[in-house]
């Protein structure tokens, strides 16, 4: 039997009752999450679910002609994939590791069986699923209402919340995907935020210098999803 950790870093697993810990832990296995590891492939059966202890996953939507955009991120506050929690066998979305880390993995069949047994565990994961929907809706809102710099300001804040660090790795290629703009637009937006002292950039990483000012720059598109998560799941 898998030894039960004293403390989970994953905020969902950390909230399990003793009874639910006894149900869930025997089916968990620790795994490393290298960068770009595919967790969910569009249209394929979701065979495993991941509860992040560290690292960040990117959830990406694609068009038939290959255009892509990030619609959300998931870290230690949640799990992959919410489609399995909602009863879906597969998803049209792609999920891959954007920041490397560690997770506990469980077979989807085992997870759904436990959800059928435990109303509290199901309520907890459905709360996360709903909060993720709010995050996705604010990503869509940001895309149509904010300029590139303000949209970029939101992403480091969300990443910082999930990585427990003010500095994290990121590439221009990924930021281009996240913002839905060309790499030249990413460089220009980064330079503008850096010139005002909000962030610092170096090859392959971003550091938050002034979180309060960065939150102000991001506006209402940062904070509402986070508050919704606290209401549904807790601190």
| Antiparallel, parallel or unpaired: β 48-52 and 101-107 | antiparallel
| pLDDT above 70 (res 3) | no
d(CA 54, CA 99): 9
Give all strands of the β-sheet with 199-202 in edge-to-edge order. Answer: 167-169, 205-208, 199-202
> Phi and psi at residue 81, in whole multiples of 5°?
-125, 140
pLDDT at 52: 96
pLDDT band of residue 20 (cuts 50, 70, 90) is very high
Give residue-wise pLDDT tens across range 33-85: 998 899 999 999 999 999 999 999 999 988 888 778 888 999 999 999 999 99
Pair 71, 24: CB distance under 8 Å: no
Query: Using a CB cutoff of 8 Å and minimum separation of 24, what contacts does 190-198 make?
Result: 190/152, 192/149, 193/149, 193/152, 193/153, 193/217, 198/153
> Phi and psi at residue 40, in whole multiples of 5°?
-135, 130
Runs of H (alpha helix) within the chain = 18-24, 82-85, 108-117, 119-145, 148-163, 172-179, 183-195, 211-218, 224-232
Give residue-wise pLDDT tens across range 75-116: 999 999 999 999 889 999 999 998 899 999 999 999 999 999
DSSP 8-state code for residue 4 = P
Among candidates 204, 150, 148, which has minimal Cα distance to 179? 148
Give all strands of the β-sheet with 29-33 in edge-to-edge order. Answer: 29-33, 101-107, 48-52, 79-80
pLDDT band of residue 6 (cuts 50, 70, 90) is low
Give residue-wise pLDDT tens across range 155-206: 889 888 887 788 888 777 778 877 777 777 888 888 888 899 999 988 778 8
Pair 206, 200: CB distance under 8 Å: yes
pLDDT band of residue 5 (cuts 50, 70, 90) is low
Which residue, chain included where needed, has tokens 């969300």? Answer: 158
**pTM attached to this predicted model:** 0.90
Pair 111, 84: CB distance under 8 Å: yes
pLDDT at 30: 95
CA angle 83, 88, 94 (to 5 degrees): 50
Give residue-wise pLDDT tens across range 130-161: 999 999 998 888 888 888 888 888 888 988 88
pLDDT at 19: 94
Max Cα-Cα span within the chain: 54
């Amino acid at each position: 039997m898998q030894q039960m950790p004293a403390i989970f870093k994953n905020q969902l697993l950390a909230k399990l009752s003793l009874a639910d810990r006894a149900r869930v832990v025997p089916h968990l296995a620790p795994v490393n999450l290298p960068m770009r590891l595919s967790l969910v492939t569009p249209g394929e059966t979701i065979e495993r679910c991941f509860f992040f202890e560290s690292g960040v996953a990117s959830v990406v939507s694609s068009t038939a002609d290959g255009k892509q955009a990030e619609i959300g991120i998931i870290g230690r506050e949640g799990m992959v994939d919410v489609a399995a929690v909602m009863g879906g066998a597969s998803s049209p979305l792609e999920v891959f590791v954007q920041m490397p880390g560690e997770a506990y993995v469980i077979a989807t069949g085992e997870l759904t069986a436990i959800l059928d047994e435990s109303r509290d565990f199901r309520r907890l994961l459905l709360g996360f699923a709903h909060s993720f929907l709010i995050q996705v809706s604010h990503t869509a809102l940001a895309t149509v209402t904010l300029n590139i710099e303000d949209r970029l300001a939101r992403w480091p804040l969300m990443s910082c919340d999930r990585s427990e660090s003010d500095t994290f790795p990121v590439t221009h290629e990924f930021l281009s995907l996240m913002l839905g703009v060309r790499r030249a637009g990413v460089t220009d937006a980064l330079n503008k935020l850096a010139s005002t002292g909000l962030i610092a950039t170096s090859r392959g990483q971003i550091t938050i210098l002034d979180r309060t000012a960065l939150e102000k720059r991001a506006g209402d598109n940062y904070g509402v999803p986070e508050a919704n998560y606290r209401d549904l799941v807790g601190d």
